[in-house]
């Protein structure tokens, strides 16, 4: 859905979409923290290597997820309509 389709959602559908995206954001943050923890553990244990690049790459991909932009659009629309999550 793009911005135009978000404008066509009813208030209830928009609140439901915000709930889904919020739970996605929490899980995404957990995974990024877990992967960064793996990298920090590798640095502390002096186990540098190629396998350390995999968690870094995955954390980068999780942080640049397109759903994050969608979440920001939904939050802006919620504020515009004066709705609370």
In the predicted model, is pLDDT for residue 10 greater than 80?
A: yes
pTM: predicted TM-score of the whole model, two decimal places? 0.70
pLDDT greater at residue 74 or residue 2: 74
In the predicted structure, residue 52 carries a pLDDT above the cut 70: yes
DSSP the chain: --HHHHHTS-HHHHHHHHHHHHHHHHHHHHHHHHHHHHHHHHHHTT--SGGGHHHHHHHHHHHT-HHHHHHHHHHHHHHHTT---
Over residues 56-65, the pLDDT tens digits come to 888 888 888 7
């Amino acid at each position: 859905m793009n911005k135009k389709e978000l404008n066509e959602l009813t208030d209830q559908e928009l609140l439901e979409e915000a709930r889904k995206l919020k739970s996605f954001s929490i899980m995404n943050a957990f995974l990024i923290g877990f992967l960064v923890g793996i990298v920090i553990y590798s640095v502390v244990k002096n186990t540098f290597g190629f396998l350390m690049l995999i968690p870094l790459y995955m954390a980068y991909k999780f942080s640049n997820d397109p759903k994050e932009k969608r979440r920001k659009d939904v939050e802006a629309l919620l504020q515009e309509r004066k709705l609370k999550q």
